[in-house]
C-alpha cells in the first residue's frame, strides 16, 4: 500500500467530468471506478466524457454512478474510450471546451492520460481558469513527477510473457530475436522487460547501441557457446518498425536474427493487481485533493507516497531513466 496524505476539505464540488485521452493503458478503468465511487460518497455528480477531448468538444457525455462502474476493476482499456484530438492544440478549440464545461455546470475536470493529455488539461486551467487534476496513465512510464504510471506494470508483465514464449523459439533454432516494445521517448518499459526476461541486450532511446556493437556482441556470444540464441529488447523510439532497419544492417554484417514487434499487444489485457491498486489509490486521492482546494496538479507516487506535482512542471520537465538498470542488464548477460 501507498502512504496516503492527510486531507482537509475546504472546497465544495457539485459536478465533475472525467475523460481518458491519448493511448489507452490498463488500469484506466479501475481509476474511473475509484473516481466515481469516491465522488458519490461526497454527493458529487460525475459525467464521463467519451473519446477524450474530441468527445468533450462534441458533448459526448455519459452520467456515471456506482452501478455504471461496477465490474470495471478487471477490464482492460477504458470504459470511456479514448482518442487523440489534434484540434485541441488550437486555442479556439480549448475555448469551446471551456464554454461547454461551464454550460454543463461542471466544477472540475479529471484527465487520465500521458503528457499530451496533461498538457491539454494545464492549458484549460491556465487560459480559462478551469479546475483540473491529472492522473498519469501511460504504459511508457515517462511522465515527470511520478515514480509509476497507470498501466506500466501490466505492459511490462504482458511483454515479458510474450518474450518468454519467443525465447523458446529462439533457443530451438539457435537464433537471436530483436523484440520491439513500445517506448516513444523513454526506455523505461524496454529496460524493465529486458531485466525481467533475462535479455542479452536492450537498445533504448537514451542509450542506443551502434550496429557494430550489437554485431560484436552476437559474434562473441557465438564464440563462447557455439550457435547461440537470445533476446535483444528494442524500444521503438517513436519509430515503429525500427527493428527491421537494425535487422537489415545486421544481416549485411553476416548476422541472421529475427524480428518480433509486440505493438499494441502491450496496451491490452486485464490490469495487474499492482495497476489496479495504483489506479484506485490515485483516483480516490484526486477527489480528496479537489475537495481540499488543490487543482492544476497531477496526482502521482513519489518514494512510496501519494503526492502532487504542478502540471506546469509535469509538462515542462522530462523524467530521467535510472541508467543503473542498464549496468545491471550488462552484468547479467553472458
Which residue among 107, 140, 153, 307 is the active-site one?
Answer: 140
Quick one: 1 exposed, middle or buried, by C-beta within 10 A (0-12, 13-18, 19+)? exposed
Cα distance between residue 28 and residue 149, in whole Å? 10
CB atoms within 10 A of CB 327: 10
Is 140 a catalytic site residue? yes
305 grid coordinates:
507516497
Cα distance between residue 82 and residue 165, in whole Å? 30
Cα distance between residue 44 and residue 65, in whole Å? 10
β-strand 45-49 against 15-20: which pairing, if any?
Answer: parallel
Cα distance between residue 61 and residue 142, in whole Å? 29
Distances (CA, A) of 177 to 87, 103, 132, 139, 334: 40, 55, 44, 23, 16
The 3-class SS string of 100-142 reads: HHHHCCCCEEEEEECHHHHHHHHHHHHHHCCEEEEEEECCCCC
Whether the Cβ atoms of residue 55 and residue 49 lie closer than 8 Å to each other: yes
| Sequence-separated (6 or more) residues with CB below 8 Å from residue 246 | 178, 203, 211, 214, 234
Cα distance between residue 133 and residue 308, in whole Å? 10
Q: Which residues are catalytic?
A: 140
Amino acid at each position: 500500500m501507498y502512504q496516503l496524505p492527510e486531507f482537509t476539505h475546504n472546497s465544495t464540488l457539485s459536478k465533475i467530468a472525467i475523460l481518458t485521452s491519448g493511448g489507452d493503458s490498463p488500469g484506466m478503468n479501475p481509476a474511473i471506478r475509484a473516481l466515481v465511487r469516491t465522488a458519490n460518497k461526497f454527493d458529487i455528480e460525475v459525467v464521463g466524457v467519451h473519446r477524450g477531448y474530441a468527445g468533450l468538444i462534441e458533448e459526448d457525455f455519459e452520467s456515471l454512478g456506482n452501478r455504471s462502474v461496477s465490474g470495471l476493476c478487471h477490464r482492460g482499456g477504458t470504459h470511456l474510450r479514448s482518442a487523440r484530438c489534434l484540434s485541441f492544440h488550437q486555442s479556439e478549440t480549448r475555448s469551446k471546451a471551456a464554454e461547454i464545461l461551464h454550460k454543463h455546470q461542471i466544477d472540475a475536470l479529471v484527465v487520465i492520460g500521458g503528457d499530451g493529455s496533461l498538457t491539454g488539461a494545464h492549458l484549460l486551467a491556465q487560459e480559462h481558469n478551469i479546475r483540473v487534476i491529472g492522473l498519469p496513465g501511460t504504459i511508457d512510464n515517462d511522465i515527470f513527477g511520478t515514480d509509476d504510471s497507470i498501466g506500466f506494470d501490466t505492459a511490462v508483465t504482458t511483454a515479458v510473457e510474450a518474450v518468454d514464449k519467443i525465447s523458446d523459439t529462439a533457443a530451438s533454432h539457435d537464433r537471436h530475436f530483436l523484440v520491439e516494445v513500445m517506448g516513444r521517448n523513454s526506455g523505461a518499459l524496454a529496460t524493465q522487460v529486458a531485466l525481467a526476461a533475462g535479455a542479452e541486450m536492450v537498445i533504448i532511446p537514451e542509450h542506443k547501441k551502434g550496429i557494430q556493437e550489437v554485431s560484436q556482441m552476437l559474434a562473441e556470444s557465438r564464440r563462447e557457446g557455439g550457435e547461440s540464441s537470445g533476446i535483444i529488447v528494442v524500444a521503438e523510439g517513436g519509430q515503429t518498425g525500427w527493428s527491421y532497419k537494425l535487422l537489415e544492417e545486421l544481416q549485411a554484417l553476416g548476422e541472421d536474427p529475427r524480428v518480433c514487434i509486440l505493438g499494441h499487444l502491450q496496451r491490452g489485457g486485464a490490469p495487474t493487481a499492482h495497476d489496479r491498486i495504483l489506479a484506485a489509490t490515485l483516483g480516490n486521492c484526486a477527489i480528496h485533493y479537489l475537495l481540499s482546494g488543490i487543482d492544476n496538479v497531477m496526482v502521482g507516487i513519489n518514494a512510496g507516497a501519494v503526492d502532487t506535482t504542478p502540471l506546469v512542471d509535469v509538462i515542462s520537465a522530462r523524467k530521467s531513466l535510472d541508467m543503473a538498470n542498464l549496468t545491471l542488464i550488462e552484468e547479467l548477460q553472458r
